[in-house]
Structure 1
């Protein structure tokens, strides 16, 4: 069992994806739900995770892919981020744009952290309806190869 103060005091700039994987693995669903109730900490964690997507992006795996991916993270308040992949580049923005996403991924905080840390199986999450996908399921199924995500 972990202490959410570990996450609150964490300097994300010095945490590798593998360390993040190990940290998230320690948290129970209840602990992550408690973290979600702290609006400032939740916002910081989401901002840090999405902020790293650009640096963890694998352009060689994306090739000429062009897609807008919308992430809807459900919690005390819903958060929306978008990842735009365009010819080997990845940019992330907070909030819903006017763009038409090729795929939208919808999940709660717990499932999101498990997914992005490499501790959750996206196929299992989808099959058990913990991860909802609207749009291009093929693109959604290939997202893990586009980012440097440690294996749980």
Structure 2
């Protein structure tokens, strides 16, 4: 943020052009907020914008050399004000992200709240710790889920 904060976190973030925010800056913003603040931010149109931008960047942050010949469909279910579902399909060294739930059977499904999702994708949350404390639930291939972070360039705050 630019120091002209109005004191209202949601208004401050709503004014951000997320497309122009570098992944490292996004990671710093997430790191600076408590889980309660992250949950407060993830409401309404702002939540839609944030999720859209995060999932929109996955394709660019995908590391095909790390994925090799991996073929997998990963379903993300982010719980909060409402359930948001996205799917990441990895095949032939490419990554495709689509909103919504397809009829295809995912190899793994990740379920987490808004704050946990933001911490995970910004490099501010440890997926193993989140899993062990049940803040991240995994259905299907747990091994694939545990290695997902190596297939993407995750920013560091």
Band the TM-score falls in, shorter-chain normalisation: over 0.9
Alignment pair present for 1:100 and 2:105: yes
- Equivalents in 1 of 2:13, 2:97: separation in Å? 22
Gapped runs of 5+ residues in structure 1?
none
Aligned length: 151
Q: CA deviation at 1:3?
A: 2.1
- Counterpart in 1 of 2:134? 129
Task: Note if contact 1:81-1:94 (Cα within 8 Å) is conserved in structure 2.
Answer: yes
CA-atom RMSD in angstroms: 1.4
- Counterpart in 2 of 1:11? 17
Alignment pair present for 1:141 and 2:146: yes
Provide Cα deviations, 1:82-139, integer angstroms capped at 9, x if missing partner: 0000011000000000011000000000000000000000000000000000011110
- Counterpart in 1 of 2:4? none
Relative to the length of structure 2, the TM-score reads 0.92
Task: Note if contact 1:59-1:88 (Cα within 8 Å) is conserved in structure 2.
Answer: yes
- Counterpart in 2 of 1:67? 72
- Equivalents in 1 of 2:13, 2:151: separation in Å? 26
Match of 2:27 among 9, 21, 38: 21
Relative to the length of structure 1, the TM-score reads 0.95
Alignment pair present for 1:116 and 2:153: no
Q: CA deviation at 1:34?
A: 1.3
Ranges of 4+ aligned residues in structure 1 off by more than 4 Å: none
- Equivalents in 2 of 1:141, 1:126: separation in Å? 9
Q: CA deviation at 1:74?
A: 0.3
Q: Larger Cα Rg: Structure 1 or Structure 2?
A: 2
Q: CA deviation at 1:5?
A: 2.6
Gapped runs of 5+ residues in structure 2?
1-6
